[in-house]
Structure 1
């Protein structure tokens, strides 16, 4: 497996680990029979964790597809790996700023992550001009 493929898995874990600790720490008030009960997410930190989790779910498919497309089209693997690793680091920072209630920095990090994703997605288009 490539580093980029491990990054796809890390991105998935980040989505899951964004919400799991909040549910675990709120075990006394969390009802697994109603996991999406809005009253559990009234706490500001829980609400931010839920928002970061949902955004991760929205971002994951595009990232996974972009990595697989770039690899399938035989783009330079080292570049795919570097961009994928950078994406995961930016997403980790994004989650931390979301939980830390830093909306401006969070939005900047979201934009950086999106640009990285676009770059990975369009690597096949630029492949002929990239070093091998």
Structure 2
């Protein structure tokens, strides 16, 4: 009986799961260290506080939501590709590409570049579909 190994693609799943948390931290960044009464981060009502944010913190919060939305499909695609015994090298490359595109997507979202952001989102979706079918025979 052989031992399963933690592949690069599985590490990418972990990174993808942490991206929304990074976005949340970025969305709250401006409010850290300031008192609540002066508009600082309100950990008592974080969702209401985030809903009142504007500009790049609001976009970082939206990127957080989108990162959570993208996560199930990516996790499922990676697991299915492994189960279908996809080429591990190709799967790892595609998973790294997906993560790279998602990081770029988040940066474009926060920077307020909607057309570029949408193009990168579409590319990441295409890579995710490729991951799903990479083991198809």
TM-score > 0.5 by shorter chain? yes
Q: Residue 14 of structure 1: CA displacement? A: 1.5
RMSD between aligned residues:
1.4
Which residue in 2 is equivalent to 1:88? 99
Gaps of 5+ in 2: 1-5, 35-39
Q: CA deviation at 1:24?
A: 3.8
Corresponding position of 2:73: 62
Is the CA contact (8 Å cut-off) linking 1:4 and 1:81 kept in structure 2? yes
TM-score normalized with structure 1 length: 0.89
Choose between structure 1 and 2 for higher RCO, CA contacts under 8 A separated by at least 6 residues. 1
- Normalising by structure 2, we get a TM-score of 0.86
- What are the superposed Cα offsets for residues 46-73 of structure 1, whole Å, 9 maximum, x if unpaired? 1100110000000011001100110011
List 4+ stretches of structure 1 deviating above 3 A.
Answer: 38-41
Alignment coverage as a number of residue pairs: 126
Q: If you compute each CA radius of gyration, which structure gives the higher value, 1 or 2?
A: 2
Conserved in 1, the CA contact under 8 Å of 2:7 and 2:92?
Answer: yes
CA distance in 1, matches of 2:109, 2:29: 19
